[in-house]
């Protein structure tokens, strides 16, 4: 009798084999797809950097560019779109959504060139408006200020669609824990958010800067680099006498030292240490000459 179909066992065996193949192949296919998306994403980020570079070459923008080594200027994706340097519909290949128009790009002066950094985690869902004014954040969108050191606002520049300077119209609001404050107080560790806004012809643009008060400054040890004493003075010599340490935290700093001065002529090195509550440490050496 001629066989015209598959038996149940044959069908089950086929399904098992297909399942095994899918189990092995599917993760590899998914991995390849994700890798291709990541590569496409990197290409888009490079396109944004190229657009920012093109923006810096325009005559009308040169006056706003960082001049000194390390200085920064922060602009938005929307600014690059309005200037015509970037495609209006540039998308994130991973999410297939448009990159946020308030995504930030930092332009930093390095030697005689500029370094461009796209802050990939920045931005919200701000709607693009070609008629909205342009805001340029001098400095970085994330600024740090040392404890008990005055905060210096780097400023913001604003232009209308037609290119008129409307910086004088910028308003700013300083928030700490969502409460408005009059200034940035650096006497304690806090994080502030400064909101900038400018309106022209009923169109408003916004930018935000975060300011974090931190302490990365080590204590400053003050002492004589070289001290000369006689052998008879060694017995009563106090290695900590006249040694001081000051810190921007304004706390009292304890100074310790390592080393020994013996009652015999020679040259001895004492090493002094100071540490503040933030964990910043400093070290200084002192030469003791015994005659």
Q: What is the pLDDT of residue 12?
A: 72
- Rounded to whole angstroms, how far apart are CA atoms 175 and 199? 20
Tell me how far apart the alpha carbons of residues 51 and 55 are, in angstroms, rounded to a whole number.
Answer: 6
> Could you tell me how far CA 104 lies from the centroid of its own chain?
12
Q: 56 with 174, same domain?
A: yes
Query: Where is the domain boundary, 162, 190, 214?
Result: 214
243: containing domain: 220-290
State whether 209 and 227 are in the same domain.
Answer: no
CA dist 207 and 232 (Å) reads: 69
Query: Is 191 in the same domain as 164?
Result: yes
Integer angstrom CA distances of residue 69 from 78, 110, 143, 262 = 26, 6, 17, 49
Do 244 and 112 lie in a common domain? Answer: no
pLDDT of residue 5: 59
The answer to whether residues 120 and 236 belong to one domain is: no
136 and 269 part of one domain = no
- 113 with 231, same domain: the answer is no
pLDDT of residue 124: 83
Q: Tell me, what CATH number does 78's domain have?
A: 2.60.40.10
Conformational region of residue 58, where left means phi above 0, alpha means psi within -120 to 50, and beta covers everything else: beta
Whether residue 186 sits in one domain with residue 68: yes
* Residues 233, 169 share a domain: no
In a domain, 54, yes or no: yes
Question: Is residue 29 assigned to a domain?
Answer: no
The answer on 143 and 247 residing in a single domain is no
pLDDT at 30: 65
The pLDDT value given to residue 252: 94
Using CA atoms, how far apart are residues 188 and 75, in angstroms rounded to an integer?
A: 30
Task: Give the end of a domain, one of 188, 214, 240.
Answer: 214
Residue 134 covered by a domain: yes
- Domain identity same for 184 and 224: no
Average pLDDT across each block of 10 residues of the chain; the chain has 291 residues. List them in order.
61 71 64 76 94 94 91 94 92 90 93 92 83 94 95 95 94 95 96 96 92 97 95 94 94 96 95 96 97 91
Among 180, 214, 248, residue at a domain's last position: 214
């Amino acid at each position: 009798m001629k066989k015209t179909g598959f038996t149940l066992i044959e069908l089950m065996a086929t399904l098992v084999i297909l399942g095994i193949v899918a189990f092995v192949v599917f993760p590899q296919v998914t991995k390849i797809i994700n890798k291709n998306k990541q590569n496409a994403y990197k290409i888009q980020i490079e396109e944004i950097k190229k657009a920012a570079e093109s923006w810096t070459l325009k005559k009308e923008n040169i006056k706003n560019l960082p001049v000194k080594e390390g200085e920064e200027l922060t602009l938005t994706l929307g600014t690059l779109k309005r200037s015509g340097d970037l495609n209006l519909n540039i998308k994130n290949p991973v999410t297939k959504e448009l990159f946020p128009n308030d995504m930030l790009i930092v332009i930093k002066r390095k030697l005689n060139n500029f370094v461009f950094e796209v802050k990939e985690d920045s931005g919200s869902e701000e709607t693009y408006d070609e008629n909205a004014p342009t805001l340029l954040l001098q400095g970085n969108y994330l600024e740090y200020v040392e404890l008990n050191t005055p905060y210096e606002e780097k400023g913001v520049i604003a232009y209308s669609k037609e290119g008129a300077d409307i910086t004088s119209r910028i308003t700013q609001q300083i928030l700490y824990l969502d409460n408005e404050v009059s200034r940035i107080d650096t006497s304690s560790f806090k994080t502030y958010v400064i909101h900038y806004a400018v309106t022209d012809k009923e169109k408003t643009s916004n930018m935000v800067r975060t300011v974090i008060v931190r302490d990365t400054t080590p204590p400053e040890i003050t002492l004589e680099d070289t001290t000369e004493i006689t052998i008879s003075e060694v017995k009563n010599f106090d290695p900590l006498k006249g040694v001081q340490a000051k810190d921007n935290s304004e706390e009292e700093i304890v100074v310790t030292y390592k080393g020994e001065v013996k009652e015999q002529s020679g040259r001895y090195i004492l090493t002094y240490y100071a540490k503040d509550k933030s964990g910043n440490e400093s070290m200084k050496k002192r030469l003791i000459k015994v005659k």
